[in-house]
């Protein structure tokens, strides 16, 4: 069994899953807190900025997981990288839909 040289190399296949969960959860929590706590004062601007940052982080982590496929020799880590990249794509879509809703729906209706 081959030992990985660094923590960054060891965590690359997991990046899309871990960062995707954290980004989607943070964007969802920020949006729901802002909408329910400050309905009249919440503008779509801050929500869109946080969602764009979360989307970028999730997409970057998904690409990182996808690119780690070629470098992996252990089949289990290849499976983790494929699942992680797929989950990152799913979480990107979960972040994208509230972004569209923030643009279309009025703040108190969301």
pLDDT tens profile 17-69: 999 999 999 999 988 776 666 666 667 788 889 999 999 999 999 999 999 88
Other CB atoms within a 10 A radius of the CB of residue 41 amount to 8
pLDDT over 90 at 104, yes or no: no
Q: How far apart are CA 72 and CA 31, in angstroms?
A: 37
Q: Domain locations in the chain? A: 43-110
Does residue 110 contact residue 47 with C-beta atoms inside 8 Å?
no
Nearest one of 51, 69, 52 to 15, comparing CA atoms: 69
Predicted TM-score (pTM) of the model is 0.83
Q: How far apart are CA 42 and CA 11, in angstroms?
A: 37
């Amino acid at each position: 069994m081959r030992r990985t040289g660094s923590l960054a190399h060891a965590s690359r296949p997991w990046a899309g899953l871990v960062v995707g969960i954290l980004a989607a959860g943070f964007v969802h929590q920020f949006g729901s807190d802002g909408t329910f706590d400050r309905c009249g004062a919440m503008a779509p601007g801050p929500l869109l900025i946080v969602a764009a940052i979360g989307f970028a982080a999730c997409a970057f982590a998904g690409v990182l997981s996808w690119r780690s496929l070629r470098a992996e020799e252990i089949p289990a880590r290849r499976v983790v990288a494929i699942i992680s990249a797929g989950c990152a794509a799913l979480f990107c879509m979960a972040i994208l839909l509230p972004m569209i809703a923030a643009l279309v729906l009025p703040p108190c209706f969301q």
